[in-house]
């Protein structure tokens, strides 16, 4: 099996990289592992992932990173797996409220790879293999800092978390028909910019614990 591990930054998966250097477990399973650090954001991720696919087609893509949470159900430090990814801030703010590209009829909400606006991971075997809570995530170009915008995303998209790259991975993998899974750890509550309240270190450690477990189970 050829597995491609994708992350926006090396910081988010550095404990896993160190584990691979110090462990021999991967030498005894049928797995070849490649790493792809894309840079932050959907544009960087789409470009980097497509460039990689021109050179090598993986059996499965694992996207790993941190995220902010909208929900009290998922505390900072917890780890989740993304079932549905949505584009949240591609649209326009009008007098009667925010309208995304689907509301504006610029993109059909069921045009492949979208299903009712969602980029849904159909590879349930990988979702279930993680044994993590399955969530709805939104991908944004601008991190949400206002309570009003957070409430909009929760109401409109039933969002549990937000990140800046997930939709790119879901979109490319669905279009290219490559199995994938996206796992995210919660570093902070959306809107809280006081980083003294964040649990970044704990989020990274917990993310990598789950990442090690998932990869070694493949």
Per-residue pLDDT of the chain (218 residues; tens, 9 = 90+): 999 999 999 999 999 999 988 877 776 677 899 999 999 999 999 999 999 999 999 999 999 999 999 988 999 999 999 999 999 999 999 998 999 999 999 999 999 999 999 999 999 999 999 999 999 999 999 999 999 999 999 999 999 999 999 999 999 999 999 999 999 999 999 988 888 889 999 999 999 999 999 998 88
d(CA 28, CA 91): 48
What is the C-alpha to C-alpha distance for residues 172 and 194, in angstroms, rounded to an integer? 34
Return the pLDDT at 28.
Answer: 63
Nearest-10 crossing angle of helices 166-176, 42-55: 30
CB distance 179 to 60 below 8 Å: yes
| Dist. CA 149–CA 68, nearest whole Å | 14
Q: What structural domains and CATH numbers belong to the chain?
A: 2-217 (3.40.50.1580)
- Cβ proximity of 139 and 166 under 8 Å: yes
d(CA 206, CA 16): 11
């Amino acid at each position: 099996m050829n597995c491609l591990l994708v992350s926006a930054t090396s910081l988010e998966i550095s404990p896993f990289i160190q584990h691979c250097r110090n462990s021999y477990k991967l030498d005894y399973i049928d797995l070849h592992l490649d790493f792809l650090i894309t840079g932050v954001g959907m544009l960087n991720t789409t470009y980097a992932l497509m460039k990689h696919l021109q050179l090598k087609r993986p059996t499965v893509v694992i996207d790993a990173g941190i995220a902010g949470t909208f929900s009290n159900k998922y505390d900072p430090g917890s780890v989740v797996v993304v079932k549905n990814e949505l584009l949240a801030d591609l649209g326009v703010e009008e007098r009667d409220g925010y309208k995304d590209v689907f509301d504006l009829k610029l993109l059909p909400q069921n045009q492949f790879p979208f299903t009712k606006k969602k980029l849904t991971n159909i590879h349930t075997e990988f979702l279930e293999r993680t044994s993590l809570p399955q969530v709805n995530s939104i991908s944004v170009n601008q991190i949400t800092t206002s309570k009003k915008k957070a409430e909009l995303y929760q109401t409109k998209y039933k969002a549990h978390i937000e990140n800046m790259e997930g939709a790119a991975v879901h979109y490319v993998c669905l279009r290219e028909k490559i199995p994938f899974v996206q796992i995210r750890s919660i570093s902070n509550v959306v809107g809280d910019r006081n980083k003294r309240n964040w649990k970044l270190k704990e989020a990274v450690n917990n993310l990598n614990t789950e990442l090690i477990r998932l990869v070694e189970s493949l």
